[in-house]
Structure 1
């Protein structure tokens, strides 16, 4: 991916500007989707993965959980 030639610390920024800089690297990455799914599957809480911040991944987890609950409720009905 695009991160192969970038120091790992870039993807673990201390501030919002650093998050944006890391996300820019991910924008054109050919494996961004796979990277995001890896972070979601392994519940990696820190850093920028697949172009997403920690907060964005928490929101994705919540949305997926709500969809699963709704799907389970519909199939039980």
Structure 2
């Protein structure tokens, strides 16, 4: 589940980047796998989603958002769920005591 406490507040300026997303012109099914999708079908769908992302003017904002709120589902900022999980594993947050 996404970390709701990390979501930006209701100020529209914090969310405006989403209006520029290339994904807005594509069926959302491209970015979110159906239950049970595996193997080459999933890799093909993920590749199609990433292709949209890589040409997107807000790729960086999208990726930063997904990583910050720990978005649990779909392709965001050209990163799959599994890629984000691997990123979290390699980038442990630094505690205030460190």
Tell me the TM-score normalized by structure 1. Answer: 0.78
Listed as ranges, the gaps of 5+ residues in structure 1 are 73-77
Give the paired residue count. 69
* 2:71 pairs with one of 21, 38, 44: 44
Regions of 4+ moved over 4 Å: none
* Cα distance in 2 between the residues matched to 1:11 and 1:22: 5
Question: What's the counterpart of residue 68 of structure 1?
Answer: 94
Listed as ranges, the gaps of 5+ residues in structure 2 are 1-20
* 1:9 pairs with one of 7, 18, 29: 29
SS across alignment from 1:61 = helix
The CA deviation string for residues 1-20 of structure 1, in whole angstroms up to 9 with x for no partner, is 11111111110133111001
CA-atom RMSD, angstroms?
1.6
Question: What's the counterpart of residue 31 of structure 1?
Answer: 58
Tell me the TM-score normalized by structure 2. Answer: 0.63
SS across alignment from 1:51 = coil
Which shifted more, 19-28 or 35-44? Answer: 35-44
* Cα distance in 2 between the residues matched to 1:7 and 1:28: 16
